[in-house]
Amino acid sequence: MGTAARTAIRASRVLGRTIDHLGQAVAWLMLALVLLVAGNVLGRYLLGFSSVAAQELEWHLLVPIALLGMAYGIRRGGHVRVDVFYEHFGARKQAAVDLLTAVLTVLLAVVAIQLSIPYVEQAYRIGEGSPDPGGLANRFIIKACLPLGFLLLALQGVELAIESALRVAGHRVETR
């Protein structure tokens, strides 16, 4: 195996570990969301108390879970794949399909990043907050999860592209 292939494998492993660590951190947000929802339900039905900010915080936690967790889901194979043809392909042909998919994922993610940055900037500029009394301020923070989530998706696409290109070239790659 050449120097370029070893360097590519190291880069792929670093990207993969980064996505894994961020995905595991985001998983803890699920616990926070479950506890928050349970607290909101108990507060509303047992104590007769409801908070607009606490209700908004639910979807403020759901957004990073979805957007920051999508790269981790793809890395761990949690995405939907239509295997009508793919499962019958040989290893190299599967790697070629994965490479094409990875390149398209990166391109899509770059477009999404470009489109979402002005959206976040506008929310920051106007000081956007909740329209509801007692709601959360600084909505740009949650909107910033859009470009960040798609950046992570792009990085996962790069990791998959590296791994797939190496497999197409006939290298045995174990990065996961």
Q: What is the pLDDT of residues 100-110, one digit of tens each?
A: 999 999 999 99
Q: pLDDT for 70-128, tens place per residue?
A: 888 888 876 766 677 888 889 899 999 999 999 999 999 999 999 999 999 999 999 99
Q: Quick one: how far is CA 61 from the chain centroid?
A: 14
| pTM of the predicted structure, to 2 decimals | 0.83
Give the closest residue to 118 by CA, choosing from 138, 85, 140.
140
Q: What are the CA-CA distances from residue 168 to residues 32, 90, 94, 155, 164 (Å)?
A: 42, 11, 9, 20, 6
Tell me 133's DSSP state.
T
Q: What are the CA-CA distances from residue 132 to residues 51, 65, 95 (Å)?
A: 11, 23, 50
Q: pLDDT for 159-169, tens place per residue?
A: 999 999 999 98
Q: pLDDT for 12-56, tens place per residue?
A: 888 888 899 988 898 899 999 999 999 999 998 988 888 888 889
